[in-house]
Chain A
């Protein structure tokens, strides 16, 4: 865009809120001109780093001979723990358990021990393989399935939620079922792997271009590792090639190493992990072992639940504490539990430290909720959907008692009934349930299954201080606007949504608002772009900044025209000042001439929320987002192979800021959730080596894995119960657990081999193998 002419007669601006402008970078994505960290033209003399990874799961380093590494062609330096000038520690929880480079002891296979710096990346990678390291191997705990949850070492303080008396409710319940579910983890598989480019500056300064969701935290970690004040470190990121939580804390290691090398060698240093290294050395979604004990009546109404959510934390705390917390926060999904006791157990294992992943434990909690629903449904012989509906929280506006969560927050905005009712109708659940029964009766090998599962997802960081955001808005004298905020772009369209908010505030066309790279130098102390909060927090902060400037412009216009403030009205690309209309650009120019400040820093903090972790009580979430999915599958009971025949989704994003973007989030979230629960399997061998560490072995969904028929709609009637940004709702994480519909449809198909009399207890990921083995198990039980 070189020249801009504003339409001064427009009735509506182009690209305001509730419109659906395309992703701001779409034209750059398709032409290959969108710049990711590895695409930045390197400064002269840039060096490249490669990692040396541990090849035992647990042990002490007896000796380390790096002479061949140092002597390899192109090698400039090799960094070990002793080269770290500050603190060898990047634990986001401050637990001092996350070294940048292993120092003396190794706690998982793939842990970085040293970092080679060479003239080329290939030289660094080749050299890294020449190390001779001897270990004193120690016993390793690889998975959590067989450990004693009560006594096994935990990496951080667990959480317990309780309301009422679960033990008594269970003891007196007419019906009771206990069980355990194994739920696998998930690799983020962002297409752009971890990468940082560090450029040394004068004094202690360093600028790091880093693919990070949390620039401020990366800044603090780099400063910590360098032993310099945070003011010496700047982190910048224009966009990531995907994040999904995998670049919330996991970006820090590459950033710190690149920065340390750059400062030491006084040359720019880039560290970009190979895909295999990325998957071996960085954390993933937590696997969970979910123990449940549910009491219910003959109708299928849940009376009491006891849960233990044991999670594979890996070797350090990282975010495992809050991930376990969020699992508990969602162990109810959309259901009211009159009596509940739930605890988390973040277990130490000699595997990579697990971390944030879209949903942050929430989806795992919901899997536990939905398994319990299935158990109850099979026990009382009813369609699981009936049991779901029977146990929902009271609908918004109902003055009932079934509205208190296990963490004592009142659910005030529940719209799941209407969503499920509309979806049941549009997907013809009842008609297809009947058709499927008929099909299955005549089809001994291929069985169909159907499930409709709800989602209720709590929106806010449970770490209260994270619920704040800043923005910086400049209006230049030509009326063009520079927008910056603390959120990061990873494909979710955050920058576009915030730009829409700013355009709406000033009533100027969207292309007048320049989106700029996130940098710690413009907006400080920001929260990671996580917890679905990006648009809620940063949209509000940017709106605040824009309003400050707008207020000054109104004051200025009112004063110079001697009219009341309410007679200054922002119209599309112009401002009505009394009886006169004046172009926005012209008003801005006049304001500048009169020395009006045209720049503002905006700020926002989410109201109402509080959380007392020790007591397990609080108003943890500002509001909830809702949705539901209905999936139908076909399963081959000879091989366990399956096809998703159809999925219908109805999802709530309140008064959507951008429906096109939100539809993309819902479609993508569902497929990612489906992948987690079906074909994405992380597999460690008996030596603790992750053997699914590349797309050849780790299978995320393909285009041909999406449902044959895929109907996705957003509610057109809901709006946020609280005054969120333009009454929209968050959309990043809530759609992911819509994928549960596929797991439960598979379970339903499997159940058909035993005439729906036995709960299949299908574990996840439900690979064809697990599906077949569940079929075999049910057939064997029937035969008994």
Chain B
């Protein structure tokens, strides 16, 4: 059954409906706002989703609700906004001369100096305030991980953030009071059609549903599949690559579902980090600590676990922990689905087990049972919003006699793909879970890995830190009462 086709993109920008019949697949939201709409409050600081000066809110419909999230307009494609509500700093225009609570707090607490990053901070804090009017310092810092300020040292911004609710109530905010009507407007825009805009070398497609996506990719096997655009965005802004035809899958409903059955969580390929970890961290607490180490809030709101897997990067943060959990991956081509162990998807650097026209549909994550020790440790130059130097994930089952019944260890940043430490695993299996066993297994790392030196770390450091993560894992699972890591937060995330 072929979907109806609509040749226009529809969304709401601040308070007005927008219909675009012409938009390039690589048109970024930021350029569109600044150059086409002359909305210049939103700034470009890096054009790669790392500084947050371009933060805007995007309201999207999730299960009948309208959820607003901060995103990086610099790497968000306009084509991905069908039936969404885009809110820029201009929407917080003073009301009868009074600033918005977020803005007034930032002014009163001296939260701006040069002011260039400020609209981005305002939007991130606005998003936080709407979902958590009285946030903890941890929530504030987590919400601001994707916003860089070079002037203030952040202290004044944190003081502002703590005070926002003393300036006004969320319920009186227009985005709260008008939410139902905006939702209705968005629902009216959504006619269930596939969207196709442009022609020749500049086409974009928004599939109507997952079957339509399968059909589109069968017809266009060379299309660029764009989920959160946290990676593809840079192909455009930094590498100037042509991504046409671009297929935007972020809104495909079936890919946005999550479910759990028989202890296995199935995550659709379009589920964002924020959404996936919101659930996973409750089921698998060790993953909860990891989420605050992946990207900034905006990237987590855009990027997907499916995308993190599909792009095959050796330094993606989700494949190693999912591999250690024994996750499986479902791929689909046309009507045909196949499910493989996740680790087998990664063949070599830049090469994955994915055929032309095939796409990642879902990943299936077993929840560790009782008695399983599971941990994920990421090492990076800067603790948060940084790319991994090395990341180790450990899944340990001990036998009743205290020996290792089964252990799965997977690393990122140590090889050309996310990779199991098979030799180390073999050296540990069947042995007592003791320091002596660990030390005896350590040399096996040299068989498993030959890491590289690059700007993030030397090979020497990667190897040593990777080994020491096993030592840390042992310390933390063997009843040692001493702290084996440093933590920013007294209440661990």
A contact set with B: CB distance below 8 Å: 22-23, 25-36, 38-39, 41, 122, 125-126, 129, 188-193, 239-244, 274-276, 442-446, 490-493, 634-636, 638-643, 660-661, 663-664, 667-672, 679, 681, 683, 685, 691-692, 694-697, 699-706, 708, 710, 712, 767-769, 772-773, 776
Cβ of B3 under 8 Å from chain A? no
Cβ contacts B98-127/A at 8 Å (1 or 0 each):
010011101110111111111100100000
Question: Contact: B485 with A446, CB < 8 Å?
Answer: yes
| Selected contact of A41 from candidates B38, B148, B468, CB within 8 Å | B38
Which segment of B174-182, B357-365, B378-386 sits at the interface?
B378-386
- Contact residues of B between 430 and 457, Cβ < 8 Å to A: 454-457
Question: Contact: A660 with B457, CB < 8 Å?
Answer: no
Contact A34/B92 with A191-B149, A638-B468 known, Cβ cut-off 8 Å = no
Question: Contact: B119 with A30, CB < 8 Å?
Answer: yes
Residue of A nearest to B160 (CB): A30
Question: Contact: A660 with B110, CB < 8 Å?
Answer: yes
Please measure, in the bound complex, the distance between the C-alpha atom of A679 and the C-alpha atom of B389, giving whole angstroms.
Answer: 13
Chain A residues lying within 8 Å of B48, measured Cβ to Cβ, are 275, 694-696
Question: Contact: B455 with A692, CB < 8 Å?
Answer: yes
Contact A31/B89 with A36-B43, A191-B114, A672-B153 known, Cβ cut-off 8 Å = yes
Count, A-B residue pairs, CB within 8 A: 277
Chain A residues lying within 8 Å of B475, measured Cβ to Cβ, are 445
Question: Contact: B150 with A700, CB < 8 Å?
Answer: yes
Question: Contact: A695 with B50, CB < 8 Å?
Answer: yes
What would be 5 A-B contacts, judged by CB atoms less than 8 Å apart? A35-B40, A274-B238, A641-B485, A641-B486, A704-B383
Question: Contact: B456 with A697, CB < 8 Å?
Answer: yes
Question: Contact: A704 with B141, CB < 8 Å?
Answer: yes
Question: Contact: A29 with B486, CB < 8 Å?
Answer: no
Question: Contact: A30 with B114, CB < 8 Å?
Answer: no
| Selected contact of B461 from candidates A27, A239, A672, A769, CB within 8 Å | A769
Q: Which of A31, A125, A490 has the most CB of B within 10 A?
A: A31
Question: Contact: A445 with B41, CB < 8 Å?
Answer: no
Question: Contact: B115 with A643, CB < 8 Å?
Answer: no
Please measure, in the bound complex, the distance between the C-alpha atom of A445 and the C-alpha atom of B473, giving whole angstroms.
Answer: 13
| Selected contact of A191 from candidates B45, B387, B461, B464, CB within 8 Å | B45
Question: Contact: B472 with A639, CB < 8 Å?
Answer: yes
5 shortest interchain CB distances as A-B pairs: A32-B41, A491-B114, A241-B116, A29-B115, A671-B153
Question: Contact: A32 with B89, CB < 8 Å?
Answer: yes
Contact A244/B150 with A192-B116, A635-B486 known, Cβ cut-off 8 Å = yes
- Contact residues of B between 197 and 255, Cβ < 8 Å to A: 237-238, 240
- Contact residues of B between 466 and 493, Cβ < 8 Å to A: 468-469, 471-472, 475, 482-488, 490
| Selected contact of A22 from candidates B89, B107, B464, CB within 8 Å | B107
Residue of B nearest to A636 (CB): B486
Question: Contact: A443 with B482, CB < 8 Å?
Answer: yes
Instruction: State how many angstroms separate the Cβ of B493 from the closest Cβ of chain A.
Output: 11
Contact A702/B382 with A30-B119, A636-B486 known, Cβ cut-off 8 Å = yes
Question: Contact: B483 with A443, CB < 8 Å?
Answer: yes
Chain A residues lying within 8 Å of B99, measured Cβ to Cβ, are 27, 30-31
Residue of A nearest to B155 (CB): A667
Cβ of B140 under 8 Å from chain A? yes
Contact A32/B90 with A671-B154, A700-B150 known, Cβ cut-off 8 Å = yes
Question: Contact: B108 with A446, CB < 8 Å?
Answer: no
Contact A705/B383 with A27-B107, A36-B43 known, Cβ cut-off 8 Å = yes
Q: Which of A38, A275, A443, A493 has the most CB of B within 10 A?
A: A275
Please measure, in the bound complex, the distance between the C-alpha atom of A274 and the C-alpha atom of B99, giving whole angstroms.
Answer: 32
Interface size class of B (residues with CB under 8 A): 35 or more
Instruction: State how many angstroms separate the Cβ of B456 from the closest Cβ of chain A.
Output: 7
Residue of B nearest to A40 (CB): B40
Chain B residues lying within 8 Å of A695, measured Cβ to Cβ, are 45-46, 48, 50-51, 148
Chain B residues lying within 8 Å of A672, measured Cβ to Cβ, are 150, 153
Question: Contact: A664 with B483, CB < 8 Å?
Answer: no
Question: Contact: B115 with A25, CB < 8 Å?
Answer: yes
Chain B residues lying within 8 Å of A34, measured Cβ to Cβ, are 115
| Selected contact of A29 from candidates B40, B112, B485, CB within 8 Å | B112
Chain B residues lying within 8 Å of A636, measured Cβ to Cβ, are 484-486
Chain A residues lying within 8 Å of B386, measured Cβ to Cβ, are 699
Instruction: State how many angstroms separate the Cβ of A186 from the closest Cβ of chain B.
Output: 11
Contact A639/B240 with A667-B156, A696-B387 known, Cβ cut-off 8 Å = no
Q: Which of A129, A189, A242, A692 has the most CB of B within 10 A?
A: A242
Instruction: State how many angstroms separate the Cβ of B180 from the closest Cβ of chain A.
Output: 27
Cβ of B47 under 8 Å from chain A? yes
Please measure, in the bound complex, the distance between the C-alpha atom of A190 and the C-alpha atom of B456, giving whole angstroms.
Answer: 22
Chain A residues lying within 8 Å of B152, measured Cβ to Cβ, are 664, 667-668
Residue of A nearest to B42 (CB): A32
Please measure, in the bound complex, the distance between the C-alpha atom of A30 and the C-alpha atom of B112, giving whole angstroms.
Answer: 8
Question: Contact: A33 with B41, CB < 8 Å?
Answer: yes
Question: Contact: A191 with B110, CB < 8 Å?
Answer: no
Chain A residues lying within 8 Å of B389, measured Cβ to Cβ, are 769
Instruction: State how many angstroms separate the Cβ of B239 from the closest Cβ of chain A.
Output: 9
Chain A residues lying within 8 Å of B356, measured Cβ to Cβ, are none
Please measure, in the bound complex, the distance between the C-alpha atom of A243 and the C-alpha atom of B116, giving whole angstroms.
Answer: 11
Give 11 A-B pairs besides A31-B93, A32-B88, A188-B150 with Cβ atoms closer than 8 angstroms. Answer: A26-B115, A30-B115, A32-B42, A191-B43, A275-B47, A667-B156, A671-B153, A692-B455, A697-B387, A700-B148, A708-B488
Cβ of B9 under 8 Å from chain A? no
Instruction: State how many angstroms separate the Cβ of A38 from the closest Cβ of chain B.
Output: 8
Please measure, in the bound complex, the distance between the C-alpha atom of A193 and the C-alpha atom of B114, giving whole angstroms.
Answer: 13
Instruction: State how many angstroms separate the Cβ of A362 from the closest Cβ of chain B.
Output: 19
Instruction: State how many angstroms separate the Cβ of B389 from the closest Cβ of chain A.
Output: 8
Chain B residues lying within 8 Å of A704, measured Cβ to Cβ, are 141-142, 144-145, 383-384, 488
Cβ of B151 under 8 Å from chain A? yes
| Selected contact of A681 from candidates B44, B114, B381, CB within 8 Å | B381
Please measure, in the bound complex, the distance between the C-alpha atom of A493 and the C-alpha atom of B152, giving whole angstroms.
Answer: 12
Instruction: State how many angstroms separate the Cβ of A49 from the closest Cβ of chain B.
Output: 16
Residue of A nearest to B115 (CB): A29
Please measure, in the bound complex, the distance between the C-alpha atom of A710 and the C-alpha atom of B153, giving whole angstroms.
Answer: 11
Instruction: State how many angstroms separate the Cβ of A488 from the closest Cβ of chain B.
Output: 11
Cβ of B157 under 8 Å from chain A? yes
Question: Contact: A679 with B385, CB < 8 Å?
Answer: no
Q: Which of B99, B155, B237 has the most CB of A within 10 A?
A: B155
Cβ of B53 under 8 Å from chain A? yes
Question: Contact: A638 with B472, CB < 8 Å?
Answer: yes
Please measure, in the bound complex, the distance between the C-alpha atom of A22 and the C-alpha atom of B105, giving whole angstroms.
Answer: 12
Residue of B nearest to A493 (CB): B113
Please measure, in the bound complex, the distance between the C-alpha atom of A490 and the C-alpha atom of B142, giving whole angstroms.
Answer: 27
| Selected contact of B94 from candidates A31, A643, A668, A697, CB within 8 Å | A31
Instruction: State how many angstroms separate the Cβ of A359 from the closest Cβ of chain B.
Output: 15
Contact A664/B238 with A446-B483, A767-B381 known, Cβ cut-off 8 Å = no
Chain A residues lying within 8 Å of B107, measured Cβ to Cβ, are 22, 26-27, 30
Chain B residues lying within 8 Å of A697, measured Cβ to Cβ, are 387, 455-456
Instruction: State how many angstroms separate the Cβ of A334 from the closest Cβ of chain B.
Output: 23
